[in-house]
Amino acid sequence: AQSVTQLGSHVSVSEGALVLLRCNYSSSVPPYLFWYVQYPNQGLQLLLKYTSAATLVKGINGFEAEFKKSETSFHLTKPSAHMSDAAEYFCADFTGNQFYFGTGTSLTVIP
Amino acid sequence: DVKVTQSSRYLVKRTGEKVFLECVQDMDHENMFWYRQDPGLGLRLIYFSYDVKMKEKGDIPEGYSVSREKKERFSLILESASTNQTSMYLCASSWSPSYEQYFGPGTRLTVT
């Protein structure tokens, strides 16, 4: 059962613009939420994770995500996009006994 | 640094062949996972293992089997490869089921 939904399979931003990648979860118990990044021809790399310690989570490469229970969301943001941010991004939720990954959002950064 | 390695980056096999994909992790992780990644479908869990000689089916186990004889090694087996198994295969490992997973670079398998 899919428990995370990523809105927008492709997102394009200009270099220096705000990056916003959307993720909504559906689990009814406190979730474990993750964002991963995948650069071309590579495996997935952890960007950040939420484990209920703080609602605003800071990750690597200037990314952060905010857990909003009222909206069941865990959107990923970065204030200023860089060309090197072009990649595919996956939201994931640990529910029950396994991870569920979203279908991914491909981020294009326009110079 | 945690390192997860996969035996091949690219593999081309013929329909009906038996295919072995190997994964090795060097951090003494208890848990190991096999996913396949297809455009528009994200990652789908094939099998996972929480301990040596233990295995659990994921969401799409049909046509696959696994083997975990040693803690650091988790093998995915395609008993009789078919063209619909052409995909990117990703192996991952973790300390605990709910902890972050560490991924290998992937094996792009083409079945002709």
Question: Would you mind telling me the total number of residues written for chain B in this entry?
Answer: 112
Which of the two residues, A99 and A11, has the higher pLDDT score?
A11
Interchain contact, B42 vs A32, CB within 8 Å: no
Query: Which residues, 6+ apart, have CB-to-CB distance to B51 below 8 Å?
Result: B30, B68
pLDDT of residue A9: 92
Q: How far apart are CA B83 and CA A56, in angstroms?
A: 44
**Which residue in A46, A98, A102 is closest to B42 by CB distance?**
A102
Instruction: For chain A, give the percent of residues with pLDDT over 70.
Output: 96
Query: Is B97 in contact with B9 (CB distance < 8 Å)?
Result: no
Q: How confident is the model at residue B93 (pLDDT cuts 50, 70, 90)?
A: very high
Q: How far apart are CA B46 and CA B10, in angstroms?
A: 19
Is the Cα torsion angle B86, B103, A45, A98 positive or negative in sign?
Answer: positive
pLDDT of residue B2: 67
Question: Is the model's pLDDT at A99 over the cut of 90?
Answer: no
Interchain contact, A90 vs B42, CB within 8 Å: yes
Q: Quick check: B100 contacting A, CB < 8 Å? A: yes
Residues of B in contact with A9 (CB under 8 A): 40
**Which residue in B40, B58, B102 is closest to A98 by CB distance?**
B58
Average pLDDT over all residues of chain B: 94
* Low-confidence winner among A26-30, A48-52, B36-40 (lowest mean pLDDT): A26-30
